Chains A and B, each alone.
Chain A
Amino acid sequence: MAERRRRSWLIVPAHDDTRVAEAAGSGADVIVLDLQDLVHDSQKHAARARIRATLPQLCAQGVEVFVRADIALLYADLHASVWRGLSGIMLPGVTSAAEVQEADRLLAALQAERGVVRPPPVGEILEADDPVSPEQALELHLCFDTGRGNWDAVEIIQASSRVQSISLGRADLVMDLREEPTGDVHLMPYLMQRLIIIASATGVQPIGAWWRATSRGLVASFEETLAAAITGRQAGFKGALCLRPHQVAALNQAFTPVME
């Protein structure tokens, strides 16, 4: 399987055309169309309705596309998302293996029914021949942003072979972890190292950056993002999530392997 370059994952609300267009020009390796936190309840329907048309447009520009689904609205979100051009689903809030198995089954059914396969790393979109082969199965990226999810991470990852990468997502917000006098976010050094070890032990990619000294509520600058990403790479992360286009270049720079 060819190596996929996924240094930067930019999350944008699926219904916001301006931000989706900005994302397309940002140089992100992966664009994550959001149906979850960044979409107000009143906009969910509009956001879902956009996905099918947006996927091939972004794909044609050489980006990989994921959709961030809301686990409480899994069926609606996946029904709206499994179309040509999708690489995988990002799933925050996961707390059990059963949830992952359910998502796996639903993806398999939708892929088979619609003849959707994961786009190959480079080139044309394939026609479906074997939607559940490792090459063509849609992926899952799990965000471990709860105490329960983190505690049971190994079992949850192993619930589906579709899980190819994991992150803490927005654990600092979901678990309400705040700044320590040292500048670290409370518990994050422990949680990040734990995630990296678990990722390596289970053979999936750990995604994240070593965000420090917050600035909670402030948007990280290019320099802050670069510093967090470099430390993140040094700690073992293979790419990171971000929410603003200007952070993409910092992630790409930090996570690009230096040629010896």
Chain B
Amino acid sequence: MARRVRRSGLTMPINTQRFVDRSWTRNCDFLNFDFEDSVPQSQKVHARTLVAHAIVQGQKGGADITIRINCAYPDADVPAAVLPGVMQINFPKAETAEQMRHLDRLITEAERVQGIRPGTVRIGASIETTLGVANSYEIASASPRIQEFAGGTGYDMSMDMGVEMFVGFDQFVYNRGEGALVAMALGLEYTGSVYLSDTTGNVGDSGLTRQRAEANRKAGLRAGSGLHPNTVEPQNVGLTPTPEEVQAAQRLLAYFRELDERGEVEGELDGRVIDQYEAARATELLEWSVLCAQKDAQKARAQAQARALEAQTQA
């Protein structure tokens, strides 16, 4: 499967129509329509009827569409959630490999019913409990539909651990490490993030979001997400390489090629040691930069079309 560009994304209740109908204007890389925590129990059944509409709205913005289901009702949620146009089913509070195997079977059946190419709908397994952390490896390796993985952090994780969420140090060192190592051991895309002190808990703080995105980009991490529209642009920009970085990477690679042709393994450029690892890093940055540009162009095209259509309808 191709590498996904998922710098920014909003999770929103699928039953809040004004969010869903404006979702395409947010310029997200992905949209995560929720059946789970943001949907009250009384609306769960209704929520399952709204996927087709949400896909249409979301795709107007060029975003990848994902659906977050309830870990308690996969049998009811999956047939409603797996429709053509849905890239991934997100499974919150994943705790066992058996849950993943069961989910895989449900998706396989739904793909067959819907005429979707077998094996193409992905699973996003979120680790949000201590049992999930303990079973990280088994969960992540339970289905080939799982292409991305990260350790357990966030609200639910802190609740399950019985610790505060917004403290001035990283209370999730082990969870992060375990998730990252599992992703790397299995060759999955690692979607974790660096730790940044945040004692405010403000989910709509664009300054802090930008800071975190920049720190992640510099650490080579590429994935974002969010709950508030203010987080989208800071992540789109913050996780995209700057023109200066692209130039520096090109220069570094040109220098490394010269070194290599001379039969040398390392040299110095601007006071820094350049070797195959720096070259690999520069290559990755250039590839990532191209993927970001492709995603931006795809979103811009989709949104321009949607705007033109909207103007036509209003005229």
Which residues of A are at the interface with B, using a C-beta cutoff of 8 A?
Answer: 13, 37-40, 42-43, 146-148, 150-152, 170, 173-182, 186-187, 189-191, 194, 216-219
Contacts and interface: CB of A to CB of B under 8 A. Distances in A.
Contacts of B280: 176
A174 B277 contact: yes
Contact of B176 (A37, A152, A187): A187
Contacts of A175: 184
Given A146-B184, A194-B177, A176 B284 contact: yes
Contact of B264 (A40, A177, A187): A40
B215 A180 contact: yes
Interface residues of B, number: 39
Given A176-B284, A218-B271, A37 B276 contact: yes
B219 A150 contact: no
B265 A187 contact: no
Contacts of A191: 177, 181
Contacts of B173: 189-190
Given A40-B263, A151-B181, A178 B218 contact: yes
B278 interface: yes
A148 B184 contact: yes
Contacts of B195: 180-182
Nearest to B211: A181
Interface of B: 137, 170, 173-174, 176-178, 180-187, 194-196, 215, 218-221, 260, 263-266, 271-278, 280-281, 284
A74 B194 CA distance: 37
Nearest to B219: A178
The 3 closest A-B pairs by CB, nearest first: A147-B184, A190-B177, A217-B272
A183 to B, nearest CB: 11
B181 A150 contact: yes
Contacts of B187: 147
A37 B275 contact: yes
A181 B220 contact: no
8 contacts: A43-B263, A176-B284, A180-B215, A181-B195, A186-B194, A194-B181, A217-B278, A219-B273
Nearest to B188: A147
A225 to B, nearest CB: 15
A217 B182 CA distance: 27
A147 B176 contact: no
A194 B180 CA distance: 13
Given A178-B219, A181-B196, A39 B182 contact: no
B305 to A, nearest CB: 38
A234 to B, nearest CB: 17
A219 B170 CA distance: 29
A224 B187 CA distance: 33
Contact of B181 (A147, A174, A182, A219): A147
A215 to B, nearest CB: 9
Nearest to A41: B263
Contacts of B272: 216-218
A187 B180 contact: yes
A150 B185 contact: yes
Contacts of A151: 137, 181-182, 184-185
A171 to B, nearest CB: 10
A41 B265 CA distance: 9
A141 to B, nearest CB: 20
A180 B218 CA distance: 8
Contact of A180 (B194, B266, B274, B276): B194
